[in-house]
Every structure is written in structure tokens, then in C-alpha cells.
Structure 1
């Protein structure tokens, strides 16, 4: 029996070392949320923790509200979910998550709010409970997943997985190394050796410093502008990256239809197209899973792999996307761990893609928990950009910095300025889950 005895929310304002422009947002500051849960497991109370950015204009892309108003509304929603979760009990961690998820699904339906928005607080509780179970058993995430100590019922999410367990689909052991896919925001500088806070700033300098070979390019929804910007970015990659470099494209819902996406794609050089791993979420979530979108994909017979991201808000969205002709979906901690596990199993069964993405995910809690899941799911190329937009772990106190270094010396090292930052070698990071 598992019971949530108490929940606590702590907020910390963070400042980015350079602005990050994606979709309809340009971010210079944001709020980082920590959730602690006291979880009673077989009569013993164990504390778990989770953390995540409250990223502006991603969970809910309302152009007519301010980021400050969105932030206040999301914090109030988190507080409401934490209050409801307190004293909730179930036989398993998965059962706790299901109860929270179903309540929020009802709330989303009644209020017509986006499912990404309403379920985000559930993922914070879910991850804190997972952490508590790991603390209680002294087992890493991949071991708990392999033995299904969480009690995950795959068929309750995807019925076609009936009779199977996560271990039937997922790797025998977690990955120890992942390729770091470096994000290039729409406002990021590209050339000129220039450093900030002892860290590289431009794309050219980042490639030189880290040996980057996988890249993620942000698009804005204007064909002409996107072709010009993408061509410029890819020219820098071609000139400075290793021979096996590759990239992905992320439109963050900025395109209106697949005919327009196709016009953009046709404007790229064929030599560059061959290096594209996939395009992520080109259409707005209100349009992406419609029959019209499916017809657009069907009419574009030779399209590159196309994934959903923001459209993957509810449990049935991934199989719906596959039925329409999409190639796969993304995993992000803010969309839920158990949901991500089930999607990974379905992707394996269907031969679909599951990518690893983030939104400037940083340590000392969020990054490590997210990497543990990515490693267990076997995802090789993972978007990691918190090290670029934030000055390492400099925003946290010395105790937290030292604890992160001690726990993961393979992942962090001290920068010349003294604070921990990611260790990136030949475009990859090491992580011992």
C-alpha cells in the first residue's frame, strides 16, 4: 500500500544566460518548481522530490495572456493538485498516478483546458512518488521498471499491449551514454568565438568546445524566413561539426498545414535533407490530429519522419497520431513518466520513433531524473539544452552544487567559474543511472 502523506511546493526564479526563443515565446527568466512528497510505503514514510521549469507558452500557448498571468494560473493549478493528492492511497505507484490522471482528465474535459496544461502537475507528483519508491528500496529507476515494482498496467494505457510488461519491450540495461542534441533557438548567435560565464555562446564555439554532432533547429512558421535561417544554421554545422552530424527540426506548432511544411522542406538542399532525423510538431495541436492533417500527410508520400510533441497530451494521442501517418512521438518528463514508458513500449511494438526532448531541463533534480528515464527507455539522441541557456548549476546553493557533483561525477565538472556544468565529450554525455 502506498499513501501520499504530504506534499510541498517550492518555487525558485531562474535567469537564463542568454534568451531562448521558440514558438511564440522568448524566454529570459522563468520559474523552477520543486515538489516534495512524503510517501507512506508499507507503513514507513519516505520523502521523494521532483522538479521542472514552468516554461512560458509551451504547455498552453495563449497569445492573448501574459507569461506572468500564465505562471500564476499554473502555480495555482499545481497547488490544487497537491492538495487533492494529499492522503491519496493505492496499491501501487501506478495506481496513484492513475487516480490523479483520471481526476485531471475530467477537469480538462469540463474546463476545455489543454491536457498538457492540466496533467503537468500530475507529472510532478508522479515523479516525486517514483523518487520516493527508489529511496525506499535503494534501487535505480531502470531496476524498478524492469521488475515492474511500479505496478504499471500497460494495457490500461494502450490495450494492444495486453499481457505484456515493460521489460518485454524495453532494453535489458539502461544506456550509459547518450548523444547530446544541441538546440539552436531562433535568436541564438551562430558564429564568432565568443564566451559567456566561462561557457561558449555561439553555435560555432559550442561545436568546437563540445564536439557536437546532433542539433535541433527551431522554426517559426514562415517558409521564407525558416528556409533562410535553417540554411544558415546547417552551413555552420556542415563547416564545423564531425562528418556524421545530423539534425532535427522543431516547429513548435507554428505551421498551419502540411502543404506549407512541404514548401519549407522543398526549399532545403537535398544534401541537408539527408541528415534530418525527423521534424517535430509542425502543426498546432488543434489541427495536428485531425483527419485533414492525416490527409495532408498521406498526400505527401515521401515526407521525412514527422513526430508529434505538444499534441501528445492525452493517453490516446500517440496511437491516434500513428493511425494518421505520423512516425512517432517525443518523451518529456513534463508529459509523464508512466505514459512515456507505455508509449515507448507501443513504439517498439509498432516500429515507431520515440525521441527524447526537453525544454531547458537542468539539474540538480530534473535533469538527473529525466536522464534516468531516457536511459531506461534506450533513447540514444536526447535534446539537452539547459547547459547552454543556463550557467550550469550556478543558480543553486553550494550544498546543492556539491551534492550534484558528488552524485554524478561522470555528468558534471566544475567550470572555470567554480560552479558545476555538464561534461560533454565528442558530443555525448555519460550518465550512470
Structure 2
């Protein structure tokens, strides 16, 4: 189809607080509570019709910008400012396609962010939410699901200077040939302070939901696991041994290691792997490792070769994926993959998906790939949009952690949770704790995401949210 052109005529930004049932430690922060940003976008098509779409994502501190100078509140304000920058640029941009709005505004948004002390990953957050809300509105206007709309290239994805390395790539063909999955494996995250066994817990939450890793393994039946490491080889190996003692009891499993930038350099990360090789208790766990995610701090990650570690297992970039050509740079340093996260942008993910296809076709192998990672995506709009993107690209497993660290729709009106559960009975199960993600044999059923809009037709209760305050972020 010819990609529809439209203009953005209004946006509204809201947020609401949530709390975690269990503390979640990743990288340099232990999270006990948070806030979710919710963005609505109203568009006007060239034929005069109007439509509204929505997107939601956690305002995550100490992930987009881990500079210790900034408080968590300042990190949140950075992300609010990124939303303001994206909205202002698109409201002033006139008429374009969905991809055109993103592509034409990326460089100006990145430049504005840089002038205000915001790194490209922070800037990407603002564009990501706005672009999702815009695309959701466009799909609703045409009564099309995300899958049908993208197969028809409703957004107008095409070669552009924003992805100059793909100048002759056939995006229409790539999208037309997609076969979205209806089932996807949930890769469970084991955070750095998560209890491994019940005996590890001095106190329990006692809400009837699984807490320790041994309970999670028994109840959800996961085949895939994501294991956080903390940057200290001795401590990491000891903890991995305790994890292996639980996972090795069950059937065959797969795992990934997530460094969250905790190792100073590539050699430090390689030493972790060598220490794992020397430990016989880790033989089965080590054999299960599919890839290692962003082990090195982003300041160094793309400036020195990753060869020492990459010869043992594929290594992917996550936090380093800030500039639009970050994956291109990473490839030259020995990385094989890059993460997709809806918080970094749908168009970014599809561009990187195209890069994998182009590079693999050129080499005649499947070395380059995308992994699907989480940012505490909460039930409802947020998790459904992320799952829809992962399904479109045919990725077979996705990190899921929000369902474990947060009790279902905690913090949202009961009626809202019930509406989502009714519309998506395959994805949510109704429990005595309210609707929660339904995970059976480690898998999520997502066939119901094939609905008008970007993975969800149901709208959350916007009146039960607070207006997002203006950002108080100021350039350092």
C-alpha cells in the first residue's frame, strides 16, 4: 500500500506510580518502585480524518544514563525532556509518513538532546514512545493490526540517510515476508539480589506468588533464563554456581548472561568466561549460554575489539545502542548482535533487523542476530506493544521480568485490568491476585495481539493517571 501521510496535531503526556513486590537489582541500581510514562498522540490524515493512539513505557532511572552525578529524579526528568523534544519536533514538522516523521526528525532531536546534555539513548526514548503512539493512531484509523499494517508497510519504511548503510535494501519485501509468531518463550530474568532458594530468604513477601528462583522454575516451567552478572568475577562465579544448582535439576534449558556494563573492559569480561570454564559446577550452565549482553561499560564498549570474549560466545550491544549506526560500529568491534527494546524505538529495531538480514545474506550464514530484552514492561499497553514488535521480527524468546517483580496490574484500576484480560484471554490469566501474564511451559500465547492498533485495542484509564510535569532537566 502507499504509506498514508498525516500530521501530528496534539499530544498528551501522563504518568502513574507503581511499586515492586520484590526488589530488582540490575547494574548499579536496586529498584523498589517506579513510574510509567503514557503518551497519547492525535493525528490528522490528508483526507481529514483524525485518530488517536497511545504508548506506555517505564521512566527507568540508571539505565538510559548511568552517570552517578544524576539522581533517579533527574534521570526521570531526562526522559520527560526527551518526550518534549520529540513532540515539539513532530508537531512542527508538517505532513509525512510514520517512518518519515521519525527519520526526518532523528538528527534534529539528537542534536537538541546533545546540546542539553542528553545522550542518544535518552533521546531515543522520547522518539520511541511518540513514534509508537503515532503508529498506533495510524493503525486504528485504518482498522488494521500491527502485523497486517507492517506487512503492507503502512509506515513507509524505506532507505533513508538515517540508515545510510541500507541504501539499496528492499524494506517492502522484508516486511511482506514477515510471519508473526502466535507463541513466544518468556526468558525469565534472575536479578542480582533475587533469592535462589527459599532457604536464602530471611523474610518472604508471602503473597502466594513465586519469589525464589526454585519456585519460579517449578511454577512457570521456563526453558529460557537471563542471568545478571555484577562485574566481580569471584562473586559472579559463586552466584552462577548457586543458580546452576537449581537449573541443572530440570530438563534442558537455555540462558543468556547480562553484564549491564559492569565490567570495565573486554579483558575483564573475558576473564569471567575463563573462570566459568575452570569451574566444573558450571559445565551445563556454560553450555546453555546463547550469548552475552553488554558486559562492558558503554564508554569503552565500542572502541576496543570484543574478540577475546566473542570467540567463546556471541556478544551483543544493548546500552551502547544509542546512535542510529551503533550496530554498524559494534559489528566492526566483533559484536554479533543487538537488542530490540520497544523503548529504543520500533523503527530502530526494524532497521537493525534489516541489517542482520543484509549482513547474513552477504556472508551466507546467520552470525548476526537480534535479541529481545525487557525494560520492566508492565501489563497492558506496554508489554503488548513490545511483544507485538518481537513477534513481527520472528524472535523466538523474549526477556520478561515485569510479571515477576510487579504483581500484575498493580497500581491500575481493577476495571482497566479486567478489560485487558477480557480482550486478551490468551495472554492474561485471571487469578486471585487479579489478571496476570499467563505463562505455561515457559511460553506466552499472543495470538490476540492481532487486533486493530499496535498490539492492543483496549485503552487504559487515562483519568486514573497524573499529568506529566514539565521537565526540570537543565544542561550541565
Taking structure 1 as the reference length, what is the TM-score of the superposition?
0.94
Q: Distance in 1 between matches of 2:62 and 2:354?
A: 30
Instruction: Report the equivalent of 2:273.
Output: 265
Instruction: Report the equivalent of 1:175.
Output: 181
Paired residue secondary structure (1:164): coil
Question: Alignment partner for residue 411 of structure 2, among 388, 395, 402?
Answer: 395
1:210 aligns with 2:220: yes
Cα displacement (A) at 1:184: 0.5
1:197 aligns with 2:197: no
* Contact 1:5/1:87 (8 A) holds in 2: no
1:349 and 1:84, CA in 2 relative to 1: closer, same or farther beyond 3 A?
A: closer
* Contact 1:145/1:166 (8 A) holds in 2: no
Q: Distance in 1 between matches of 2:111 and 2:354?
A: 26
* Contact 2:293/2:317 (8 A) holds in 1: yes
1:186 aligns with 2:195: no
Cα displacement (A) at 1:139: 1.0
Paired residue secondary structure (2:411): coil
Q: Distance in 2 between matches of 1:70 and 1:156?
A: 30
Instruction: Report the equivalent of 1:377.
Output: 393
* Contact 1:281/1:306 (8 A) holds in 2: yes
Question: Alignment partner for residue 71 of structure 1, among 65, 69, 76?
Answer: 76
1:162 and 1:70, CA in 2 relative to 1: closer, same or farther beyond 3 A?
A: closer
* 1:36-75 equivalences in 2 (<5 Å): 36-42=40-46, 43-75=48-80
Paired residue secondary structure (1:90): coil
1:165 and 1:195, CA in 2 relative to 1: closer, same or farther beyond 3 A?
A: farther
Cα displacement (A) at 1:238: 1.1
Deviation digits for residues 122-178 of structure 1, max 9, x if unmatched? 111100001001111111112111111101114544334333333533553201111
Q: Distance in 2 between matches of 1:158 and 1:84?
A: 20
Cα displacement (A) at 1:228: 1.0
Instruction: Report the equivalent of 1:93.
Output: 98
Question: Alignment partner for residue 232 of structure 1, among 225, 242, 250?
Answer: 242
Q: Distance in 1 between matches of 2:13 and 2:117?
A: 26
Structure 1 stretch displaced more, 362-371 or 79-88: 79-88
Deviation digits for residues 42-64 of structure 1, max 9, x if unmatched? 31110000000011100000112
* Contact 1:94/1:338 (8 A) holds in 2: yes
Deviation digits for residues 93-130 of structure 1, max 9, x if unmatched? 11111233222111234345311012211111100001
1:310 aligns with 2:314: no
Q: Distance in 2 between matches of 1:87 and 1:183?
A: 41
Runs of 5+ unmatched residues, structure 2: 277-281, 361-367, 451-476
Q: Distance in 2 between matches of 1:314 and 1:106?
A: 11
Q: Distance in 2 between matches of 1:84 and 1:157?
A: 16
* Contact 1:20/1:27 (8 A) holds in 2: yes
Q: Distance in 2 between matches of 1:172 and 1:60?
A: 34
Q: Distance in 2 between matches of 1:284 and 1:246?
A: 25
How many residues are matched? 426
1:368 aligns with 2:384: yes
1:41 and 1:199, CA in 2 relative to 1: closer, same or farther beyond 3 A?
A: farther
RMSD of the alignment, in Å? 1.8
Q: Distance in 2 between matches of 1:128 and 1:363?
A: 17
* Contact 1:8/1:82 (8 A) holds in 2: no
* Contact 1:197/1:391 (8 A) holds in 2: no
1:275 and 1:3, CA in 2 relative to 1: closer, same or farther beyond 3 A?
A: same
Cα displacement (A) at 1:339: 0.9
Instruction: Report the equivalent of 2:469.
Output: none
Q: Which has the higher contact order (CA 8 A, sep 6+)?
A: 2
Paired residue secondary structure (1:311): coil
* Contact 1:178/1:428 (8 A) holds in 2: yes
Paired residue secondary structure (1:200): coil
Instruction: Report the equivalent of 1:409.
Output: 425
Instruction: Report the equivalent of 1:253.
Output: 261
Cα displacement (A) at 1:288: 0.7
